[in-house]
Structure formats: C-alpha cells, structure tokens
Amino acid sequence: MKELNRAAEWFTDSVIRRMTRIAIAHDAINLAQGYPDFDPPRELTDRLAEVSAAGPHQYAVTMGAPNFRRALAKKCGRYMGREIDPEREIVVTIGSTEAMVDTLFALTNPGDQIILFSPYFESYMAQIRMAGCEALFVPLAPPAYGFDPNALEDAFRKGVKAILVCNPSNPTGKVFTEAELLCIAELAERYDAYVIMDEVYEHIVYAPNRHVYMAALPGMWERTVSCGSLSKTYSITGWRLGYAIAPERIMQRIRQYHDFNAVGAAAPLMEAAIAGLELPESYYDGLAARYARMKALFTGGLDAAGIPYADPQGAYFVLADVAPLLKPGQSDMEFCEWMAREVGVACVPGSSFFREDVRGIIRLHFAKKDETLIEALSRLGGIKKKLGAAHKLYNM
Ligand code: GLN
C-alpha cells in the first residue's frame, strides 16, 4: 500500500504519556506525567457545577469565548506588564500543546530551522517535525543549566526562523534570568528570528528566582509568541485550556491554524475557568508557596534517599541521577519500567529530553499531595542501598 506520512517517522509516541500507561498497569505512583493529584480551587469547581446547568454547551467563537478572552487578557496583561488586546492578540487553544503547534505552523515553512535548548520538553521535537522543520540544539549544561552565548550565536548565525524557550523550564526547573533572556532577545533581534515562549509554569517559581516575560523585554513584543496554559496555574490539566499571545500580524496566522485544527476550546470549561482568572493576586502567591513546600518535602526525601538531583528554580520537576543503579546494557527506558514495576514509582527516562547521550537521568515530578509524596519517597528510599557514591553527575 502507499506510503504513510513521513514526518511521523522522526518521532515515537510521547514517552511521558507512555509512562502514565505503564504506571497504571503496575499501580505505581505516577511521578512521570506532571499533573496534580489535588483539587482545583473551589471557585472553579463550584462555577463548573453552575455552568453544567446554565451552559454554554455549544461552540464558542473559534478564537475563544469573548468573556474568557477578556478575563485572560486582563490577567496575563497584569503579569506581563502590558495591555493585551483580547480581540486581536489572543487565541484560546486546546492546551498549550495546540498553541505551540499552531504557532510553529504559523511562523515557519518546511525546511526552516528552530533553535531548541537541550534538554527540552519532548513535544517540541515532534511538533517541529510535524511542521517540516528542523531543530538546532544548544546545550544547557548541568547542574546549573546555563548556556554558552557563543554557541547560541553560532546557532542563530545559521539563519534560524525562531528559537523556542521553555521558561520556567521543563524538565530542568531552570528559570532564565533577565540577563539570559536579554542575551537571547538581543540575538533574536540581530538575526531577525522569532521567539516562541512556553511559559506554562510562570507561576511556579521558587524565591529568590523570578519569572521575567520575554514579550515584555524592550523590542521583543513584535517578534515573540507567548504560549501559556491554565493547566498548571489552576490545577486543571484535564480541562485542556491553553492560549497564545502575540502581536496581531502573527496572531492572524496562528488563528488560521487554530480555526481549522481545533474549531475551539471547550465552551463550558472556558466559562467556568473565568472564576480562576479572576482570583486575586494572593492566589498566585499561595500557589508558589504551596509548590515550594512540596519541593522541600520531595527534595528533602531525595536527600535522605541519597539520590543526587539538580535543585529546580521553578516548575515542578527534578532531574535525578540514578546512573549507578542501571545494569550494564540496561537502557534508561528499561530502568524506568523496572522502577514502575518493582519500586512502584513511575518516572520519565532522561533520554526523552536530552539531545546528548545521557544515561541514568530520570525526571520525577512533585505536583502531588503530601501523602502521595511521602509514600513515593518511602518507596524510593528502598533503592538507597543500591546507590553507590561512586558516580555523581551533580555536585550536591
Ligand atoms: N507538561 C507535563 C509533563 O511534562 C504534561 C505533559 C503532557 O502530557 N502534556 O509531564
């Protein structure tokens, strides 16, 4: 029979979501796919109950329900420090994943090159390939995950169309400093490249680190697309509400792709989620404080278990080094399957994030209730004796 689509040969299924299926099969605690096991704020769930009776239950306009877009523009504008026009500069998407795909299609033509930092969130490679583009990698060096500005400029010099930056970063937990963002911005301007930001963890940042919005830096609004999501901020990953913010010229293109790919996000969920967007500033402070407590509990447990890791500055992931536990020839995927089956904790193999050949790095997330984390840590504590001090990637 005739050949199927070729671009898809460049990627597999999502390893993160494969690990969720493996976790379910082994009844393991899922510290692989990052999502909370606690409830969203009552304001959202109460409102959802009302909306279930009152509607809307039919399509909203394709770019997102007007009242949702207005509330979103207001909330995002407050944090970004600029007025955002809900009529012209926002589209509501099915999760930020759709926002990223629409953006990549809107900005590129087949054969274009996109700069990615490595490690990177696994979706990006698949999305870049879907758009017929190629990724150019610039490494982030552990344990601090800084980048070499000269290596970055070398990549820009190749005539790239865009750079894609996840900030705060999944999987490293890196929060780019203002100086680093200014360096990226200066290169993007000098080499006339677009900047695609994935900022879904914007509100999960650990003091003294601070989230700086690329689009708010001088001269950057015109060339930046900011992709975001309500998933992490309001603990509603299953609602699949994401968005892109961009200047009108770019937004028109993004909306064309959204229109024909998605029709629109779920109308009742947009209506209910307005209650989240209208929460006061104290909600976001509380969220960051809650995650800081979860991080302290989880990393404290990793310390006690003798598992080396890089301390995250933001987001809710840790990259841990378990290399001494791998048997000779065992792949990190095989190791993660063993962890789910024998230890009862599911995590993601590092190889799905790194361009470089890494072995024995796993990603764990801690967006979980205390009791879930305590149980996971007690299971992880069981592998302590198998960990030698011989090999340490991170100097912790
Ligand atoms: N962003 C989350 C993670 O990295 C969820 C990924 C997904 O399945 N969309 O685990």
The CB of 34 under 6 Å from ligand 1? The reply is: yes
Residues 126 and 256 in one domain: yes
Per the CB < 8 A criterion, the answer to whether 37 and 375 are in contact is no
Q: Is 1 domain-assigned?
A: no
132: helix, strand or coil: coil
Give the predicted TM-score (pTM) of the model. Answer: 0.95
129: helix, strand or coil: helix
Residues 163 and 92 in one domain: yes
Gap from CA of 388 to ligand 1 centroid (Å): 31
Which residue has a Cα nearest atom 4 of ligand 1? Answer: 34
Residues 220 and 148 in one domain: yes
pLDDT of residue 392: 43
pLDDT per residue over 184-232, tens digit each?
999 999 999 999 999 999 999 999 999 999 999 999 999 999 999 999 9
Residues 251 and 110 in one domain: yes
Residues 89 and 10 in one domain: no
Residues 226 and 311 in one domain: no
Distance CA 44, CA 41 (A): 6
Q: Is 61 domain-assigned?
A: yes
Per the CB < 8 A criterion, the answer to whether 187 and 159 are in contact is no
Residues 246 and 378 in one domain: no
Q: Which atom of ligand 1 is nearest to the CA of 121?
A: 4
Gap from CA of 202 to ligand 1 centroid (Å): 15
pLDDT of residue 339: 93
Residues 159 and 263 in one domain: yes
Residues 287 and 269 in one domain: no
The CB of 299 under 6 Å from ligand 1? The reply is: no
For 115-135, the three-class secondary structure string (H helix, E strand, C coil) is: EEEECCCCHHHHHHHHCCCEE
Gap from CA of 217 to ligand 1 centroid (Å): 28
Of 281, 297, 332, which residue constitutes the final position of a domain? 281
Q: Which atom of ligand 1 is nearest to the CA of 17?
A: 8
The residue range of the domain holding 326 is: 6-40+283-384
Of 234, 266, 281, which residue constitutes the final position of a domain? 281
- Where is 257: in which H helix or E strand? helix 248-262
CATH number at residue 187: 3.40.640.10
Q: Is 390 domain-assigned?
A: no
Which residue has a Cα nearest atom 2 of ligand 1? Answer: 34
pLDDT of residue 18: 96
The CB of 170 under 6 Å from ligand 1? The reply is: yes
Residues 246 and 375 in one domain: no
Residues of the chain with pLDDT under 70: 384-396
Residues 272 and 330 in one domain: no
396: helix, strand or coil: coil
Of 236, 261, 281, which residue constitutes the final position of a domain? 281
Which residue has a Cα nearest atom 3 of ligand 1? Answer: 34
Distance CA 308, CA 102 (A): 38
Number of domains composing the chain: 2
